[in-house]
């Protein structure tokens, strides 16, 4: 299925409304899409956002399959995410991402990059990443490993076999993010061998990004990856029966 399940609207830091993103996605020819705005534990707008997307699902149901989602960043080494648990039932998909690498007393800062011990950064990243994989609230691992690049840490320095084993064992969906061009080839290759399900995302913040990046999304979609059956995934997650045809 030609789809893009990671993009932002003006509910968070995107430029355009959900309707504008949906119309653009239909224009590109996507069969399915998700709007996945950034949230924080304290975001008061999430119920209204989820209700709005619910209305849009109905409005556009004959033109595109719309999923609702949120992107929540990992806030601590124990893999906790920055989303109130009450949000979980309101949306179809939760993207987990590491935007800043946690340490016991906060986060690593790229401003101190050169002075920081690389081993500690890698160990703390690995701990937070693996605990996120164990977090049952997370469905999709968004832009995996992208945050390590900010510290100049390359895939050769990481235990790739262990990381990809853990991704496969978690059963979570691995995102190929064309905006950040991540994860690296070795993660993709090993994860494909280990049976991990992929999805290709643009992580767009504007209609222009959505259109420009759709070419790469299309290219990767035809690249032989085992893509997740998102309709089935969401139905199973929400314990819903298959849709009645014609409804």
CB of 62 to Zn ion, least distance (A): 28
Query: Per CB under 5 A, which region of 20-28, 68-76, 190-198, 230-238 contacts Zn ion?
Result: 68-76
- C-alpha atoms less than 13 angstroms from C-alpha of 9 in its C-beta half-sphere: 24
- The tokens describing 201, both together, are 């995302």
Judged by CB under 5 A, does residue 147 bind Zn ion? no
- Maximum alpha-carbon separation in the chain: 61
Binding pattern to Zn ion, positions 12-51, x when CB under 5 A? ----------------------------------------
> Site residues for Zn ion, window 195-214 (CB under 5 A)?
203
| 80 versus 165: smaller Cβ distance to Zn ion | 80
The length of the chain in residues reads: 247
CA neighbor of 78 nearest in space, from 161, 12, 134, 147: 134
Is-contact 74 65, C-beta < 8 A? no
Query: Per CB under 5 A, which region of 70-78, 106-114, 122-130, 159-167 contacts Zn ion?
Result: 70-78
**Backbone torsions φ then ψ of 14, nearest 5 degrees:** -75, 160
Could you give the angle at which helices 160-170 and 185-193 cross, rounded to 10 degrees? 50
CB of 117 to Zn ion, least distance (A): 25
Is-contact 65 103, C-beta < 8 A? no
> Site residues for Zn ion, window 76-105 (CB under 5 A)?
97
| 109 versus 193: smaller Cβ distance to Zn ion | 109
| 204 versus 221: smaller Cβ distance to Zn ion | 204
Judged by CB under 5 A, does residue 127 bind Zn ion? no
Which residues contact Zn ion (rule: CB under 5 A)? 71, 97, 203
């Amino acid at each position: 299925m030609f789809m893009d399940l990671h993009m932002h609207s003006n509910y968070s830091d995107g430029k355009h409304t959900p309707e504008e993103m949906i119309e653009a996605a239909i224009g590109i020819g996507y069969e399915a899409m998700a709007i996945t705005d950034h949230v924080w534990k304290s975001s008061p707008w999430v119920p209204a956002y989820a209700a709005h997307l619910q209305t849009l699902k109905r409005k556009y149901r004959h033109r595109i399959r719309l999923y609702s989602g949120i992107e929540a960043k990992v806030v601590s080494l124990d893999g906790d995410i920055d989303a109130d648990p009450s949000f979980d039932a309101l949306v179809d998909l939760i993207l987990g991402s590491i935007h800043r690498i946690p340490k016991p007393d906060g986060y690593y800062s790229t401003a101190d990059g050169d002075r920081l011990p690389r081993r500690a950064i890698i160990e703390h990243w690995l701990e937070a990443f693996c605990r996120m994989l164990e977090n049952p609230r997370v469905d999709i691992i968004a832009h995996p490993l992208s945050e390590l690049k900010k510290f100049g840490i390359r895939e050769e320095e990481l235990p790739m076999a262990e990381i990809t084993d853990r991704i496969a064992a978690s059963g979570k969906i691995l995102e190929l993010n064309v905006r950040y061009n991540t994860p690296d080839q070795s993660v993709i290759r090993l994860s494909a061998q280990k049976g991990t399900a992929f999805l290709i995302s643009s992580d767009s913040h504007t209609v222009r990004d959505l259109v420009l990046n759709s070419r790469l999304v299309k290219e990767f979609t035809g690249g032989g990856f085992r893509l997740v059956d998102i309709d089935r995934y969401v139905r199973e997650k929400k314990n819903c029966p298959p849709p009645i045809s014609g409804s």
